[in-house]
Amino acid sequence: MDLSALALQLLSGLSRAMMLFLLASGLSLTFGVMNILNFAHATLWLLGGYLCFSVFQWLTQAGGLGSWALVPAIATSMAAMFAIGWALERFLIRRMYGRELPEQLLLTFALILVIGDLIKIIWGTQNRRLPVVIEPIEMLDSFVNPYYFVIIAAGCAVAAGLWAFLHRSRYGRIVRAAVYSRDMVSALGIRIPTIYAGVFALGVAIAALSAGLFLPVMSIGLGMDMQIIVQCFAVVVIGGFGSILGTFVASLIVGIVYAFTILIWPEGALVVIFLILVAVLIVRPWGLFGSEQRT
């Protein structure tokens, strides 16, 4: 295999890694801050993708914006999913605080079924993809889809933004403090439920961003949420729950390893990912960048 083919595969792996990061970062935040294992996170991602598709279709038909309609479509779907995430936390997820893991899984699995049926009723069972026209560019004696660079840049920008938010903003410091001692943060007069609602809604909005970026290069459809949630859990466990840096590094590992393994052993690409997961759990059960102790 020549150098250009390897470079293209690396580019594909990096773009896949950023898509996984954008989805897994919300899952990591939700569990790291709230101790809620949201099994329906990928289904909310799927819902955000369908909303983005509908807004894009409306903008291109009514407004004539063309491919540039993708930007307001993603922004609109993110805003809608932020509101949906806030409402879900307020009326459903909030009742799971302090409950056992099986109860959390039952509730979030029920959300998967409900949201899946809503998608069937509104959008049907056909797969959806945005018809965005992207001209390939020549690079390394081959043609490359420049949209991959958009995905990679978006993933890096969100990673940097989340890090700055958690480490440089007052709200982010409160979120980090709540991870380690919720009672102390509550004793300072800070409303923990509001913090939790914001974190959950932010994670869902970032998932909607991931879905919107995903649509121009691949179609989405029912069942994809169950496929991708497995890889997201692998990313979060490898990186460490609650660690944005860990999620970012684990996404790079999973995305790049998957991209190259699929060339050599297509049917065993996921097997290799889970072998890495097992190895990390043996050496560091709390993940590469996770915290060993958390209250």
∠ CA 150-172-234, nearest 5°, is 55
**Given this model, what pLDDT does residue 175 score?**
84
Burial category of 172 from C-beta neighbours within 10 Å (exposed 0-12, middle 13-18, buried 19 and up): middle
* Contact (CB, 8 A) for 123 and 130: no
Distance, CA of 123 to CA of 50 (rounded, Å): 8
The pLDDT value given to residue 1? 58
- Give the three-class secondary structure for 215: coil
Distance CA 63, CA 58 (A): 8
Amino acid in position 96: M
Q: Which single residue is written with the structure tokens 């949209």?
A: 147
3-state secondary structure of 138: strand
**pLDDT at position 278:** 95
Residue spans of the domains in the chain: they are 19-228
What's the CA gap between 6 and 253, in Å, rounded?
16
Its sign, for the CA torsion 231, 160, 152, 223, is: positive
Q: Are 206 and 18 in contact (CB under 8 A)?
A: no
Query: What does the alpha-carbon distance between residue 193 and residue 190 come to, in Å, rounded to a whole number?
Result: 9
SS3 223: coil
Confidence (pLDDT) at 295: 40
Angle between helices 170-180 and 3-34 (to 10 degrees): 70
- The span from the CA of 107 to the CA of 111, in Å, is 6
Ranges of residues in the chain with a pLDDT under 70 are: 1, 292-295
State the Cα–Cα distance between residues 204 and 79, nearest whole angstrom: 10
Q: How far is CA 138 from the centre of its chain?
A: 30
Beta strand ranges found along 32-118 (DSSP E): none
Hey, what amino acid is at 142?
Answer: S
